[in-house]
């Protein structure tokens, strides 16, 4: 440890896990998994060490009978076909062929066992990949523009910056013991396709006239995050040149490490420090670490597309295209990943890209090959032209595998989307996100309609139910959605949503979006309609 753990000056103010992390750094668990636990078996693992497994990208899988879920880092969401085949093989050999694309552009497995991990780590390393620090109190997978390098709407190629961050922070023991999880994004796309406002630290496209010449660079937001108490990131008053991004990131991360809260884990995210200090004090402390910075320039974000890219689109390279494929609720398989790798090599540039909307892109497809690609059988399920609601439905893992989730979400979300596509015609995209607990991995707070799982008591016992929130968006005018009163029993959710959406259709002005409709008519009007729908369903 090359720094002073200043928080240890008052050890009586630390939670129990903080004391354990001082005794054993999270990165040490990698060695223990390979050299000890994989050989001695699941029952040999001390309870405290299960919490450190997160630094290896690993969580115990519900119902805690010896299986694990695991996340793989995919910085910026860009994979080679060779990497995709290795991921497919791991899933096939150890994860029952199941693979999920997550809202942080990662790939997630289930059904893994402790004895599998040495081989998994070795396979990942063979293609330059890692699960290390995909989870844990450390800098997690860096989210980026999935169209990096090919994007007509990016101000610069940010892949060198993502790679620089990955090289610096990964396995760096100066930053492997943070107060809690720490999430960064880097994108120069003008449609905010890395969802900057909900990151701990986000770099967004900006420009500034310096010495009479327009210079492209970044602004930075700090203190965003979701969970039970969501916060929108606040913008620092500084213009950041591309080669200064890492300096700023080191400074922000150092402030979080040294001053972030370590007494209560539910109050340990960077968002709470930024909120308590205020953005002015936070910037003052940052400047003490990194030196003076020029003030903000011009924001270049003009909207938010939610990182959706269905269909065929022109790249900035003449004659080449990228094809956005819908992965229903992010769930795919080893067989499909192998096929994607084959299609990437046969029709494209050998690259597969994952998005924070849980979908996949194939890139570098020449004009003359597009039609043949669209005829491939895989594109019947992973469709470039998905149905309206299925195309915009996102779900967390749910209680099928997650110990924190209260309800099942993946299959339920898929069935709700199918119902809506069968019963509601809509000419506007409408984003519906499902989460199984307050942690918000499915990012329900920023959805047009967000559903959070809960339970309600009925004459037949406790049953799944959902709280409904409406009106979220990011980008200019970013706003979290508002939770409506009236918990909806699970079996009623499809019909209730259909009626709410029909209410929107009947009352909108022209092509008005759902978000704009909600904020024009007001939450009380939407609440009144939901209350009416629930009364009729009772």
Contact 67, 45 (CB under 8 A): no
Span 145-184, pLDDT tens digits: 999 999 999 999 999 999 999 999 999 999 999 999 999 9
196 — pLDDT class (breaks 50, 70, 90):
very high
Same domain, 277 and 369: no
Residue 20 lies in a domain: yes
pLDDT score of 36: 97
pLDDT score of 1: 61
Tokens of 424: 């509601």
Distance (Å) of CA 277 to CA 223, 247, 478:
11, 21, 22
Q: What is the mean pLDDT of the chain?
A: 97
Contact 336, 410 (CB under 8 A): no
Span 388-399, pLDDT tens digits: 999 999 999 999
The share of the chain scoring above pLDDT 70, in percent, equals: 100
**Rounded mean pLDDT, 117-137:** 98
Same domain, 212 and 154: yes
Span 501-518, pLDDT tens digits: 999 999 999 999 999 999
Domain count for the chain, please give it: 4
pLDDT score of 63: 87
Residue 457 lies in a domain: yes
pLDDT score of 64: 86
In this predicted structure, the answer to whether residue 522 has a pLDDT above a threshold of 90 is yes
Instruction: Using the 3D structure, point to which of 386, 405, 433 is the last residue of a domain.
Output: 386
CATH of the domain at 73: 3.90.480.20
Same domain, 112 and 164: no
Residue spans of alpha helices (H) in 95-235: 117-126, 159-169
Question: What residues act catalytically?
Answer: 71, 180-181, 436, 441-442
pLDDT score of 43: 96
Cβ–Cβ contacts within 10 Å for residue 263, how many?
14
In this predicted structure, the answer to whether residue 415 has a pLDDT above a threshold of 80 is yes
pLDDT score of 460: 87
342 versus 458: the higher-pLDDT residue is 342
Terminal-to-terminal C-alpha distance of the chain: 60
Residue 439 lies in a domain: yes
Residue-range definition of the domain harbouring residue 253 = 143-299
Residue 359 lies in a domain: yes
- Among all chains, which residue has been given the structure tokens 């879920």? 69
CATH of the domain at 421: 3.30.413.10
Same domain, 344 and 397: no
In this predicted structure, the answer to whether residue 293 has a pLDDT above a threshold of 80 is yes
Same domain, 324 and 453: no
**Rounded mean pLDDT, 37-44:** 97
Same domain, 402 and 378: no
Instruction: Using the 3D structure, point to which of 71, 95, 126 is the last residue of a domain.
Output: 126
In this predicted structure, the answer to whether residue 2 has a pLDDT above a threshold of 80 is no
Residues found in the chain: 538
Same domain, 104 and 152: no
Same domain, 172 and 276: yes
Instruction: Using the 3D structure, point to which of 299, 319, 348 is the last residue of a domain.
Output: 299
Span 231-264, pLDDT tens digits: 999 999 999 999 999 999 999 999 999 999 999 9
What is the distance between the alpha carbons of residues 118 and 58, in angstroms, rounded to a whole number?
A: 13
Residue 361 lies in a domain: yes
Residue 6 lies in a domain: no
Same domain, 122 and 59: yes
Residue 117 lies in a domain: yes
Q: Which long-range contacts (CB under 8 A, 24 or more apart) does 515-524 make?
A: 515/448, 515/471, 515/472, 515/473, 518/448, 518/470, 518/471, 519/471, 519/479, 523/470, 523/471, 523/482, 523/484
In this predicted structure, the answer to whether residue 538 has a pLDDT above a threshold of 90 is no
> Which pTM was predicted?
0.97
pLDDT score of 137: 98
Contact 405, 442 (CB under 8 A): no
């Amino acid at each position: 440890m090359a720094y002073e753990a200043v928080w240890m000056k008052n050890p009586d103010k630390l939670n129990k896990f903080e004391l354990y992390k001082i005794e054993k750094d999270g990165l040490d668990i990698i060695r223990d998994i390979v050299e000890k636990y994989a050989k001695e078996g699941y029952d040999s693992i001390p309870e405290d060490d299960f919490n450190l497994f997160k630094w290896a990208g690993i969580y115990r899988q519900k119902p805690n009978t010896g299986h694990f879920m695991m996340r793989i880092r995919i910085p910026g969401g860009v994979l080679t076909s060779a990497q995709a085949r290795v991921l497919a093989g791991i899933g096939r050999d150890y994860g029952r062929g199941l693979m999920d694309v997550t809202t942080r552009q990662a790939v997630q497995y289930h059904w893994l066992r402790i004895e599998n991990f040495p081989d998994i780590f070795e396979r990942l390393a063979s293609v330059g990949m890692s699960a290390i620090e995909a989870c844990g109190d450390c800098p997690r997978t860096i989210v980026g523009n999935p169209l990096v390098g090919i994007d007509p709407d990016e101000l610069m190629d940010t892949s060198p910056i993502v790679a620089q961050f990955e090289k610096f922070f990964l396995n760096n023991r100066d930053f492997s013991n943070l107060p809690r999880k720490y999430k960064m994004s880097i994108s120069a796309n003008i449609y905010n396709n890395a969802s900057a406002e909900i990151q701990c630290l986000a770099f967004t496209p900006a420009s500034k006239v310096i010495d009479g010449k327009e210079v492209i660079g970044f602004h930075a937001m700090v203190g965003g995050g979701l969970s039970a108490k969501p916060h929108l990131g606040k913008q620092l008053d500084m213009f950041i040149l591309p080669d200064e991004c890492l300096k700023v990131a080191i400074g922000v991360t150092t402030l979080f490490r040294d001053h972030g809260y370590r007494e209560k884990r539910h109050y340990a995210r960077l968002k709470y420090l930024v909120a308590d200090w205020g953005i002015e004090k936070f910037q003052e402390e940052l400047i003490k670490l990194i030196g003076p910075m020029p003030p903000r320039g011009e924001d270049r974000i003009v909207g938010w597309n939610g990182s959706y890219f269905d269909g065929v689109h022109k790249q900035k390279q003449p004659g080449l295209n990228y094809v956005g494929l819908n992965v229903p609720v992010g769930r795919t398989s080893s067989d499909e990943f192998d096929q994607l790798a084959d299609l990437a090599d046969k029709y494209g540039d050998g690259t597969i890209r994952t998005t924070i909307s849980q979908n996949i892109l194939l890139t570098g497809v020449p004009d003359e090959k597009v039609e043949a690609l669209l005829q491939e059988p895989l594109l019947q399920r992973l469709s470039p032209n998905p149905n309206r609601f299925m195309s915009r439905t996102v779900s967390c893992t749910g209680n099928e595998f997650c110990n924190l989730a209260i309800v099942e979400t993946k299959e339920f979300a898929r069935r709700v989307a199918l119902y809506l596509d069968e019963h509601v015609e809509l000419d506007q995209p409408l984003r519906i996100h499902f989460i199984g607990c307050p942690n918000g991995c499915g990012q329900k707070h920023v959805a047009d309609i967000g559903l959070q799982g809960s339970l309600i008591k009925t004459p037949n016992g406790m049953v799944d139910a959902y709280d409904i929130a409406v009106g979220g968006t990011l980008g200019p005018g970013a706003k979290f959605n508002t939770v409506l009163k009236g918990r909806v029993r699970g079996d009623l959710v499809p019909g209730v949503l259909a009626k709410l959406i029909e209410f929107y259709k009947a009352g909108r002005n022209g092509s008005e979006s759902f978000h704009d409709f909600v904020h024009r008519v007001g939450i009380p009007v939407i609440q009144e309609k939901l209350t009416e729908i629930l009364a009729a369903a009772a």
